[in-house]
Chain A
Amino acid sequence: MKKKNESTFSVKRKTKGYELFLILYIVLIIVPSIILASGDKAWVNIVLAAGLIVLVLFYYFDNTYDTSVSWGMRAVYTAPEQERSFIDYHRTHFWKETDITLSYDIKNFLKSKIHELAVMARLGSKMRILMLDPQSEYVPLLEKACSMKPGEYAYYVLQVQNFALRAAQAAVEKSVVDIQIKYYDSLPFDNMLRAYDAMLVYDNKENTDNGFLAYSFENGLNGYNFYKTMFNEKWNDESFAYGKEITANMVPNMRSFADNDPITYTV
């Protein structure tokens, strides 16, 4: 029986690369060096080296190795300052495609990355931003979970929409600003950012010990593919994600945020 929504994602075991290096290292460096470096008792050296190699292989290639290589987890950031290094590296490249899922902790996310996003948008990065609908019934609960004031979430969603408009006006010559924003109304997703060659997945503030946890996955491996597939499925599902225009009327207590909490950036 064929399933209704067949997903294209499949887990791939990747075991090439390091093994090849290992074999080349043994064949080209260790074996010749041992043979050249010894006299009559060469066989003792060779046996010893072979024993060491066997032990190291036994130590090295376990379940953890398989997982770490085939899922491509590059780093785990436990503080926003560490995560900054991720952005500092990636801002030196052009992000051809940028996918963002944003709901929890929207304020800190925007404040820490709005400069990079503005530059990339102006240069013509293809941006897709998926956010929780500010009129959803989950929003009060979300605000409570992130210790935000009522209306603060909607205010920052409005800021994202303004950002898209401002970026479109200030485009560099011959580049096309392409920022699409869609909304959904379901249980809020964890934040995600796909930039240049990595996928950054934020763990929810709720289930971390010290309030921040982010995983970065390398391009082309299982972790990256999984989240990319997941994002594409949500984005292309028309019954799930929809476009909408946010107006200032939808933001309760608009005045108090506009005065106290401006986000400043140049486009």
Chain B
Amino acid sequence: MLVKKLRKWLEDRNINYKKYLILFYIIFIMAPVLIVLSLNDTGENVFARTMASVLLLVFFVVFFIYDYRKKLADDWGLRSVEVEENPYKYASKALVGAKNVKVSASFDLEEIYELISGNMPKGGCHFEILLLNPYCDYAKLCDETEKYAEYADKFEALASQSQNEIDIKYYSLMPVNNLFIIDENVYVYPMTHKLSDGRRIFRYYRGKKAAYKNYCGYFKRTWENPLYEAGNGGSDNEEEK
């Protein structure tokens, strides 16, 4: 029980304690003991034998640390990929004690509204919510405009009631993903990657790694520039029309 709690405490703070544990073990326990042993031993080729066993162990460690697939997933912070019918329940766990939440929502507004209103942090949390503009061209194609407008109202009401600071912006870009960035957890729901029975893929990243940077950059760009403008591509079309 205690070990589990300690592990959770360390994982919550995103400390790679396992790596330091191995380094600590090699430097402070293994190396001194082997040196002392080799000094005391009077057999033949003691040094060569000791070095051989150390090298074997080091190769073993290096092989596992530099495995390309694990390394790739580590670099991107990928924790899990799931195929689920209702994948939003996974985000609720991280939402409870969150301090900084960024949400980009374009589909499934009902589920997202329920998720956010049901798991509202108790206070001191800063929300940034990007919603699809109910009156843009994209909303007309994706779903009924009324539904988007209804949920936009609900989110506004939530913002006025809540103790937390909630900023809402509307964007008029091509809707692609639902995206949650909750502290250091990134949940990505690609909208078109869907099987015929309604199950959908989603990816969960954790930690300030490549995926976090990528999606934060995307979110920041959209937040500052929610229309197609010069820097965003699309100004040419407007001029020609």
Contact = CB atoms under 8 A, between A and B. Distances in A.
A147 B79 contact: no
Contacts of B86: none
B57 interface: yes
Interface stretch (B111-119, B147-155, B229-237): B229-237
B21 interface: yes
B179 to A, nearest CB: 7
Contact of A190 (B40, B78, B192, B228): B192
A85 to B, nearest CB: 14
Contacts of A222: 81
B205 to A, nearest CB: 10
Interface string B208-229: 0010011101100100000010
Given A7-B195, A33-B53, A233-B195, A59 B174 contact: no
A49 B18 CA distance: 17
Contacts of A75: 72
B143 to A, nearest CB: 10
B25 A45 contact: no
B79 A67 contact: yes
B60 A30 contact: yes
B83 A11 contact: yes
A136 to B, nearest CB: 9
Interface in B100-133: none
Interface centre among A30, A63, A68 (most CB of B within 10 A): A68
Contacts of A149: 236-237, 240
Given A37-B50, A37-B53, A64 B70 contact: yes
A56 B241 CA distance: 63
Contact of B197 (A3, A40, A63, A76): A3
A89 interface: no
Interface string B196-214: 1101010000000010011
A67 B61 contact: no
Interface string B159-202: 00000000000000111110100000000001111111101010
A73 B233 contact: no
B240 A150 contact: yes
Nearest to A3: B197
A226 B199 CA distance: 11
Given A9-B195, A68-B78, A188-B192, A29 B56 contact: yes
Q: Is the interface of A mostly helix, strand, loop or mixed?
A: helix
Contact of B81 (A74, A76, A223, A233): A223
A207 B218 contact: yes
A207 B220 CA distance: 11
Contacts of B173: 145, 206
A34 B197 CA distance: 55
B233 A146 contact: yes
A109 interface: no
Contact of B215 (A74, A142, A207, A229): A207
18 contacts: A7-B197, A9-B195, A34-B53, A52-B25, A52-B26, A55-B18, A59-B18, A59-B64, A64-B74, A64-B79, A69-B69, A76-B72, A76-B210, A140-B137, A142-B174, A145-B233, A147-B233, A187-B192
Interface of B: 18-19, 21-22, 25-26, 29-30, 33-34, 37, 40-41, 43, 49-50, 52-53, 56-57, 60-61, 64, 67-70, 72-74, 76, 78-83, 137-138, 141-142, 173-177, 179, 190-197, 199, 201, 210, 213-215, 217-218, 221, 228, 233-234, 236-237, 240-241
Which 3 A/B pairs are nearest by Cβ-Cβ distance? A147-B233, A209-B217, A68-B73
